[in-house]
Structure 1
Amino acid sequence: MGLEVAWVAGLQQEEVAATVGAVATTGFEGFEKRLEIEFSYGPSSEASGLRSVSREGLDRMLKAAECTIVAQLSSDEFDSYVLSESSLFVYPLKVVIKTCGTTKLLRSIPVLLELASGLDLSVRCCKYRRGSFFFPAEQDYPHRNFTDEVEFLDGFFSGGRGYVLGSSSSAQKWHVYVAPAVEDEFGSGGGSSSEPGFTLEMCMTELDRKVATEFYKDVNCSAEGMTRAAGIDGLLPGARICDFAFDPCGYSMNSVEGGAYSTIHVTPEDGFSYASFETMGYGPREIDLQVLVDRVLRCFKPGFFSLALYATGISGAAGKKNGGSSWGVGFVPRGYSCVGSSRQELGSGGDVVVYHTFRAEEERSSPSPPSPDWWSSVPRPLAVSIDPKRQELESLSDIKLKSIETLKLKQLVGRLVLEQAA
C-alpha cells in the first residue's frame, strides 16, 4: 500500500508540474529559496570572518547559483547585497542567501565552504527553506523537488532533517531543512545568547492590482519612487534602505538597522503576482509583531499570504518570557481568515517554527479570534518529517483532495492559454 500511495502522489505532482510548466515561460518564479549557514572560528581566524571574503570570491559563489550583485549597503555588523535575483547577507560568522527565479542556490554551497575553509572557519549549522513554486517544472536539479534538495544538502552537512509544513489540502507548503549546530572550541558567536532570536518570513500572492502597478517602471521610474508609493519606507522607520527597480517591472529592497535586516522582493505580474517580506534580528524589544505584519499587509494587500516565524532558544527561561510577548501571542490580521497552522520543533536546541496561511475575507470586517500562544498551542500533526531515503506521504483521502486541486489548476491554465491566443 505504501508504494501504491507513493506512486499515485508522485504521478500527480508530475502532472501538476507539467501542466504549469506549459505556461511557465510567460511567468517569473517569485518564491525564493533561502540558505543560511553559520560558521565557527578556528585558531587562526580573523574577527572579520566572512566579511573579509573578496568581491571576487562573492561573485564566484553567486555565479554558481546563477545570480549577480546589483547594489550594496553595509552596517557596522554585516554587509547586505541586492542581487539580480533577491538578496545576500554576510555576517562575520553567518551567510544568508535568498534567490528566486530558476536560480540554483544550493550549487553555491561548495564555493561558500571553500571560501570559509580558507578563513579557517568551520560549519556550525545549516538551514534551508522555501515555499511551493509557481512553476516547479522550470526548476533544475537539485531544486526539482524537496527530496532532491534534502539529499543534496546531506552531501555537505551531517545530521540534517527535512520537514514539510502546511495543510494537506493546500497546494502551498513550507519546506524546511535543518542540520543541527555543532559545538566549537573557539566560540561561534552565534546561538549562545540567552535571548531568543526571531526570523519572520511572509510570502504574499494575489497582490492588489493597484498596488502591483506601482512596481512597473512606466508608473514609477525609480526604485525610490516605488518604495515611497507602496509605503515600504514606513515599515521600519529606523532602518536604512537600499532599493532596486528592475526592467520593465519588479523590485527588491534590503534594509539594515544595527545587526538586523529586512528584505522585500516583488514580482507584480498579474496571474502570478508575488511579494515577500523577511526580517531577522528584530524582536519584541524593537517592534510589536502584529503592528509589523499589519504594516506589511497594508503595503501589498494580498489575497493570500503565509507567515513563517522562527525562534531560536525559545525553550529557555528567556525564550519563554519572549514567547509570551507580542512575538509569541497568536493573532489573525483584520480582514483575513487563518486557513492553516503548523508548528515544528527543529531538533533539541530549543528552535521552533510556526507556519500559518491566511486568506482574505470577502468583507474585511472584524478579525478572527487569535490563537493563545504560537509556540505551544498550535497543532503539530500538519508538519511532516522528511527522510531522504523514505518520504512520508499523505493519506489516500488527501490525494483525492489534491486531485481536485490539479483539475482546478488545469482549468485555470486552459483559460490562460485561450486568453494568450486571443
Structure 2
Amino acid sequence: MFFEGSEKKAEITIDATQLSLLTDISDDFWPTLVNHSNAKILSSISNDQCKAFLLSESSLFVWHNRLLILTCGETQLVKAVEYFIQTLGQNVIKQLTYQRKNEYFANAQPSCFGSDIKLINQYLSGKAYRFGEMDSHHNYVFHLDNRHEATEVSYELLAYQISTSASAHLTQANLSASDIRDFLCISQILPDFTLDDFVFSPYGYSLNAIKNKQYLTIHVTPQAESSYISFASNIDLMTLAPTLLEILTPKSFDLMTFNEHEFEDKLKHHIPAQYVCKSKVEQQLNNGDLVSFTNFILPQSTYVAPVELNIAGDNHAL
C-alpha cells in the first residue's frame, strides 16, 4: 500500500492588533479552511495559548498571532492558504512561509511547488529558494518579501526508510495508540504535554502535543516501500535526535531549522557518528529568518534488489 507521507507546510503570521486567531475567528472557519485542502479535522485539543487540530492528513496549530498547517498525501494545501487570504484579507498578514519537499511520487500530486507559489503570488509577492540538491533530498521555501521579527525557532526532523524492525513493529495488526507512544518514547520526549493521537487503518499514525505555546507533531507512514516519519516542533528536536534515530534507524534523514543559531554546534554534538552528511546549507532570508538544512545518510553494505512493478496498477507505482 502506497501513501505519500511527505508534507506540505504553511505558516502564517498575522497582525495581532487587528484580530486574534484564537478568539476572533468563528468555530466553523477552521473546518472550512482544512476542507479546502481536501483534508478534514478528526479531533482537537487546546489551552489558553494554542489550539491543535489533528487532521485526516497531518495537523493544524493555531495561536493568537499565527497558524501552522501541514498536509500530506495528495492534498492541496495551497487552496487552504488561498482561502485564508481571501477570507481574512491580505492586510492582516505580516508574514507567510510555504514549504514543499521532495516527494516519493511527485507525479501523483495534483500540483507542484511552482504552480502553488504562482497562485500565492497572485495575492502576496515573495521569493523562493531550494535547500538541498535537486537530485537528492531538498526542500522548497517561499516567503513574503518583507521583514518580520524572526524570533520563532522551529525544527523539522524527517526520517526516510526506517529500519526493517521499526517498520515491522509499526505495521502490526491491531496496533494501539499507546503501543506506538511507548515505541516512540513519547512520555520521555514530551513530559506534561497534552496529547491527541490517531491510528489509521490499515497503517499510519499521527500525534499532536501542546504545552503552553510549545507544540510537537509526529506523522508516521510505516510501509517498508515508502516509509517516512516526520517530526515538527518548536522544542529542540536536534537534542532529541539521538533518541529518535536510535528508535527508527532510518537510512537517511533531513534536519531543517528556522532561527536556530547554534545549528552547526548541535550537529556536532547530537548526530550519531555512523551517519554521513550529504548536504548542508544555511541562508538568511530577506524576511529575517535564518534557515538551515542538512541531509544525512547511513552508509549501506547491502542494496535493494530490482522490484517487479505491476504495470496494470496505479500510475504512481511506475
2:48 aligns with one of 69, 76, 79 = 76
Distance in 2, Cα, partners of 1:337 & 1:224 = 33
Contact 2:100 2:113 in 1 (8 A): no
1:240-255 to 2 correspondence within 5 Å?
240-255=194-209
Contact 1:57 1:115 in 2 (8 A): no
TM-score (norm 1): 0.67
Higher helix share: 1
Which residue in 1 is equivalent to 2:138? 173
Larger radius of gyration: 1
Distance in 1, Cα, partners of 2:39 & 2:60 = 11
Taking only aligned residues, the RMSD between alpha carbons, in angstroms, comes to: 2.7
Which residue in 2 is equivalent to 1:200? 155
1:162 aligns with one of 98, 123, 128 = 128
The gaps in structure 1 that reach 5 residues or longer are 1-25, 184-190, 284-288, 315-322, 364-407
Contact 2:143 2:287 in 1 (8 A): no
Contact 2:6 2:73 in 1 (8 A): yes
Instruction: Percent identity, please.
Output: 25
The gaps in structure 2 that reach 5 residues or longer are 314-318
Which residue in 2 is equivalent to 1:286? none
Contact 2:10 2:81 in 1 (8 A): no
- Residues 90 and 213 of structure 1: is their aligned pair in 2 closer, same or farther, counting only changes over 3 Å? same
Q: CA deviation at 1:86?
A: 0.2
Which residue in 2 is equivalent to 1:147? 114
Distance in 2, Cα, partners of 1:337 & 1:131 = 21
Distance in 2, Cα, partners of 1:228 & 1:304 = 23
* Alignment partner of 1:126 is 2:65: no
Over residues 334-380 of structure 1, what are the superposed CA-to-partner deviations in whole Å (9 max), with x where a residue is unaligned?
3211111111221152x2111111111359xxxxxxxxxxxxxxxxx
SS of structure 1 residue aligned to 2:246: helix
Q: CA deviation at 1:132?
A: 0.4
Which residue in 2 is equivalent to 1:415? 308
- Residues 327 and 264 of structure 1: is their aligned pair in 2 closer, same or farther, counting only changes over 3 Å? farther
Contact 1:32 1:99 in 2 (8 A): yes
Q: CA deviation at 1:93?
A: 1.4
Contact 2:239 2:266 in 1 (8 A): no
1:276 aligns with one of 230, 242, 251 = 230
Distance in 1, Cα, partners of 2:278 & 2:82 = 39
- Residues 90 and 115 of structure 1: is their aligned pair in 2 closer, same or farther, counting only changes over 3 Å? farther
Aligned residues: 309
Higher strand share: 2
Contact 2:158 2:230 in 1 (8 A): yes
Contact 1:211 1:300 in 2 (8 A): yes
Contact 1:264 1:276 in 2 (8 A): yes
Over residues 168-215 of structure 1, what are the superposed CA-to-partner deviations in whole Å (9 max), with x where a residue is unaligned?
4x33211111114467xxxxxxx37xxx43111111111112212333
* Alignment partner of 1:31 is 2:6: yes
